Amino acid sequence: MDTSPSSSASISLDDTALLSARHICKAFQGNLVLSEVDFTVQGGEIHALVGENGAGKSTLMKILGGVHRPDKGEISLSGRGFHPRSPREAITHGVVVIHQELSLTPHLNTEENIFLGHYPVTAFGTVDRKRMRAETLKLLHRLSVRINPAKTVRQLSVAQQQMVEIAKALSLNPKILVLDEPTAVLDDEAARVLFQVLRRLRKQDLGIIYISHRIEEIFEIADRVTVLRDGRCTGTANVKEVDQEWLIRRMIGRNLLIHQTTPNDGGTVALRVWDLSRKGHFEEISFVVKQGEILGLAGLVGAGRSEIAKTIFGLSRSSSGSVEIFGKALKAGNPNDSIKAGLVYVTEDRKADGLFLNRPVIENITAGNLKPFFKFPCLRLKSEWNFAREMISRFDIRTRGLKTPVRILSGGNQQKVLIARAVGLRPKILILDEPTRGVDIGAKQEIYSMIEALAAKGIAIILISSEMAELLRLSENILVLRDGHVSANLTRETATEDAIVKAAAFVQTKGAADE
């Protein structure tokens, strides 16, 4: 396939487009983040926007959503000039953005969340509850989802909350709907439901802008795709006319070396989990992980994967069962004992639970591991700085300096900081919970290489991921969970996407871990 910029896959701008942005430029403090970007969306189209972190996707969406104004360029909506000065003005004209971080209010019910800020009112100025219920049911019916309007949002699953967020957007009568990483917290089954909803909305002539780091999703859901790299548009194409190589090359400027982890031919049992249970969360979980092995944990949202990991590590207490590290029993409910024994857990939510966002990179790397740099009565700053520099080099963390606040780093580099901190604790067993969530394709491949390198050094790894392709690439064995139980134990030979989906969603055949 021709991968040159002049490839026939490239599409010219269409004057009949529902939304048209031409020659968009934007700079912050002299730093050009968008340069001559062209982007169009047709009615009844799902148009994907992709690129690495820092490529300019968020800035372009903030311009369309009224947060920023372009320094140069023209935007039209339905053939008329569109220059929103605020998000409210953008919404008024028909452009609604659904952000990755959902904006729902947990203590309010579904219908109250959907109409928050624009409740229907009676002639007496009070909230028209009857009309609000009727309109909510219409919106949910339009999405073909069944959610009780009276349920509070905190009672809903993450997937259901995503549907409420979309219903909330639809209540504003949008012409253009922008979804930013909508599957970031969804498992594969929930993502399929979301895609069905988006296809229905496409048939209703809505223009949909779909932002995602997951390449496989683009080919499943989008009609067209536009790629940004370093603030410039490197290509727009009909999805059916291109392949992953075309897309990745335009995203990162090179091809990716894709390979699969070399099988571990044996080794000492590093971690043994036996009949582990936590009442109300999971029951009788048993498995072993050997030195140098990568064990994948698969399952739908709510299956119990993260709860099991946190219980093994000691963040939660088990109600029964045991955990052994190299044959020695691990005291339940004590993370400090786990770390001393060589077991380290990397959280799935780096911003809420993992990083000190306003603190510098160096402090985030050495947090919880200052003992090697302490000589009474002082902290040996030079040793700490040398260690941090070594980890930055080893994990290729791209930062302006050791004192840079970690919040400024891209998602991929933040994740590398978190992994670097964990590795600095010298683990024998490493639990990685969604290690590539919210990172771009380039950083994802780098993290894969890190995981493979750690396993090659003999570290036993438990990998929790909602991405089946990730599990299939990295794992030697995959434990599938369903409703807090083991539903299948798949080897590299028996593990397929179909087998994982069936075990996670439909078939429950408890498997015992091989020793």
Task: Tell me which residue of 168, 256, 183, 239 sits closest to 445, measured CA to CA.
Answer: 256
The neighbour count for residue 105, using CB atoms within 10 Å, is 12
Secondary structure (3-state) at 89: helix
Same domain, 372 and 387: yes
How many structural domains compose the chain? 3
**For residue 98, what are the CA distances in angstroms to 48, 115, 208, 222?**
14, 15, 11, 17
Query: If you search the block for the tokens 């109300």, which residue do you land on?
Result: 280
CB-based burial of residue 102 (10 Å sphere; 0-12 exposed, 13-18 middle, 19+ buried)?
middle
Same domain, 304 and 408: yes
Please indicate, yes or no, if residue 257 is contained in any of the structural domains: no
**Whole-number Å distance between alpha carbons of 255 and 399:** 24
* Domain assignment of residue 49, given as a range: 1-94+176-182+205-251
CB-based burial of residue 3 (10 Å sphere; 0-12 exposed, 13-18 middle, 19+ buried)?
middle
Please indicate, yes or no, if residue 374 is contained in any of the structural domains: yes
Please indicate, yes or no, if residue 489 is contained in any of the structural domains: yes
Q: What are the beta bridge partners of residue 420?
A: none
Look at residue 85 in the predicted model and tell me its pLDDT.
Answer: 94
Same domain, 473 and 358: yes
Look at residue 11 in the predicted model and tell me its pLDDT.
Answer: 42
Please indicate, yes or no, if residue 110 is contained in any of the structural domains: yes
Same domain, 107 and 31: no
Please indicate, yes or no, if residue 77 is contained in any of the structural domains: yes
Look at residue 266 in the predicted model and tell me its pLDDT.
Answer: 63
CATH number, domain containing residue 230: 3.40.50.300
Q: Which of 132, 153, 173 is the last residue of a domain?
A: 173
Q: Residue 309: which residues within 8 A CB-CB, separation 6 or more? A: 297, 345, 431, 433, 462, 464
**Whole-number Å distance between alpha carbons of 349 and 359:** 17
**Whole-number Å distance between alpha carbons of 349 and 306:** 11
Same domain, 496 and 380: yes
Strands across the sheet with 460-464, in order?
343-346, 429-433, 460-464, 294-299, 477-482, 485-491
From the first residue on, what is the mean pLDDT of each consecutive set of 10 residues in the chain (515 residues)?
A: 41 71 91 93 96 85 95 94 95 92 90 94 93 95 90 89 92 94 80 90 95 88 94 95 88 60 72 94 95 93 89 94 95 91 93 90 89 74 89 91 91 91 94 88 87 95 91 94 92 88 63 39
The model carries a pTM of 0.66
Same domain, 15 and 157: no
**For residue 266, what are the CA distances in angstroms to 66, 297, 514?**
57, 20, 12
Same domain, 34 and 166: no
**Whole-number Å distance between alpha carbons of 255 and 360:** 33
Task: Tell me which residue of 461, 476, 481, 462 sits closest to 514, measured CA to CA.
Answer: 476
Please indicate, yes or no, if residue 279 is contained in any of the structural domains: no
Same domain, 398 and 491: yes
Look at residue 260 in the predicted model and tell me its pLDDT.
Answer: 55
**Whole-number Å distance between alpha carbons of 437 and 449:** 16
Same domain, 494 and 392: yes
Please indicate, yes or no, if residue 357 is contained in any of the structural domains: yes
Look at residue 424 in the predicted model and tell me its pLDDT.
Answer: 92
Same domain, 299 and 395: yes
What is the Cβ-side half-sphere exposure of residue 6, based on CA atoms within 13 angstroms?
A: 0
Same domain, 429 and 299: yes
SS3 content of the chain, % helix, strand, coil (to 5): 35, 25, 40
Same domain, 387 and 491: yes
**Whole-number Å distance between alpha carbons of 164 and 152:** 11
Please indicate, yes or no, if residue 111 is contained in any of the structural domains: yes
